[in-house]
Structure 1
């Protein structure tokens, strides 16, 4: 979780980088972000970006005087927290008004009235905890499989996952996609990509990252990054997509306050 406020010296124009979580952006204050999607649509205000949103750099966030709380939600809890199937959100952007109706406006007012970032973080945690408590959880086998993929940095075979949970490959594929938002293999590839970008941002050489992250070669890594972000291995670590992870993009997107917590598994 992180709080962000743009510096006000120039309009915000951010390329959304695909991420192996569902991103919830709760905005407040005088500005209202506009989110352009690949289909040519434009969304206004607080929004949810589904698992892997931002392929080819076609999703952008624009605006002025924008402030908000960004939450990286594990897809394993996104259905309970948001009230919408992750499968419906896959690669998509949906406004919070569409999902929550009047509650979205009330949340914006409460965030605007909160005196500090810590109060806003606590308010957001309370909101999500309440929603999760009121909704059925994902299947334990699906949650376990997702966590195995994340722990293995995407280098896990679907056949192995199915065998370990005692399901057929077909059953795992259908339940996983319905409750996580992507088929297991595509989810694993997204996690692998994210891990590779972390390493590039930390200064590791592209050739070494490719070899140790499960890519066939450096060209394979280059193509994957280009397809997912529209950028190159040299430029993608500097893409100023508002992120909780300071290792990736630090404060390049504006003034950011983070809330320590568990990784979004």
Structure 2
């Protein structure tokens, strides 16, 4: 086996905080980011199998440039498999939340098909509650206080929201457990639903078809292995791709660039600290 070569972490100077203990809410993970700097910071967001919510509590909002055009906001929500988008800010202070689509559906209060591949301001989803939450985060003195505020907000919304269908939740969990290698053609039969009904309800509530969801889950595992220095040939074989061109095709489809270029994105470099993979899950 070839040795794994690691490059210097471009995010080593960032302050990244993790809640301890981990959030108790199902399908919720969060991390705090403080990135200082006198010049603008440019980050390219990489798709992953979770809905991203970011709440900025500093004095400088994000400037986001994506497929839908520029957005300037102190908070955002990005649906599953969003197109890569550029985030620019002169210093960042925020809590970033990753929501399983099973949790995001009731927490955000809308079918995730309405977020398909897009980035919207959190103000558009939560209205006046968003600036109030930002103000409370700004007044909080520690990361544990901020994480507790987010936990309370999400808990309230989760209890009030409408959950996804049990059949859809089961299908999503099967795809995740199989690292995207699940035979999605079998999912409908195993729930007793027709294929048309499963595809329609899954797409509406998760925001992707089962096939696209499986591609995203598999891509996420592959791109993180690439970012840790594994070769494309090794990653293609380990993650269930037919061959290296198949891996290249999927990486380009989700990131618009090559596996080598995508693997060196700072967005991914921060993941080892912000979103650590459980031992044995890689």
- TM-score, normalized by length of structure 2? 0.83
Distance 1:174 1:75 in 2: 16
Which residue does the alignment assign to 2:17? none
Alignment of 1:122-133 (within 5 A): 122-133=148-159
1:111 aligns with one of 137, 145, 153? 137
Deviation per residue, 1:109-141 (Å, 9 max, x gap):
000011111111111011101100011211111
Q: Does 1:15 align with 2:32?
A: no
Deviation per residue, 1:86-120 (Å, 9 max, x gap):
00001101101111111110000000011111111
1:2–1:259 contact (8 Å) kept in structure 2: no
Which residue does the alignment assign to 2:182? 156
Structure 1, unaligned stretches of length 5 or more?
251-255
Q: Does 1:40 align with 2:72?
A: no
Residues matched between the structures, number = 249
Q: Does 1:3 align with 2:32?
A: yes
2:114–2:207 contact (8 Å) kept in structure 1: yes
The Cα of 1:9 is off from its aligned counterpart by 4.6
Distance 2:276 2:68 in 1: 34
Higher relative contact order (CA 8 A, sep 6+): 1
Distance 1:242 1:125 in 2: 25
Distance 1:116 1:242 in 2: 25
RMSD: 1.9
3-state SS of paired residue (1:234): helix
Which residue does the alignment assign to 1:187? 213
- TM-score, normalized by length of structure 1? 0.88
Deviation per residue, 1:156-180 (Å, 9 max, x gap):
1222111221111111101101110
